[in-house]
Amino acid sequence: MTIETTKQAIKRWHTMLQTRDMSILNELLAEDVVFRSPVAYQPYPGKQVVFFILSNVIQIFENFTYHREFYTEDGMNVVLEFSANVGEKKLKGIDMIQLNEQGQIIDFEVMLRPKSGLEALAAQMGKRMAAFIPKV
Count of helix runs (H) and strand runs (E) in the chain: 4, 6
Q: How many residues does the chain have?
A: 136
Cα–Cα dist 84/94, whole Å: 11
Q: Contact at 8 Å (CB) between 91 and 85?
A: yes
Query: Which segments of the chain does DSSP mark as H helices, in order?
Result: 3-19, 22-28, 47-60, 115-132
* pLDDT tier, 131 (very low <50, low <70, confident <90, very high otherwise): confident
**pLDDT for position 135:** 56
pLDDT in tens, 19-35: 999 999 999 999 999 99
- DSSP H or E run through 107: strand 105-113
Q: Sign of the CA dihedral 40, 128, 107, 89? A: negative
pLDDT in tens, 98-124: 999 999 999 999 999 999 999 999 999
Per-residue pLDDT at 55 exceeds 70: yes
**pLDDT for position 39:** 87
| Percent of the chain clearing pLDDT 90 (strictly above) | 85
Cα–Cα dist 78/8, whole Å: 12
Q: What angle (nearest 5°) sits at the alpha carbon of residue 57, between those of residues 56 and 61?
A: 125
Domains of the chain: 3-130 (3.10.450.50)
Per-residue pLDDT at 94 exceeds 80: yes
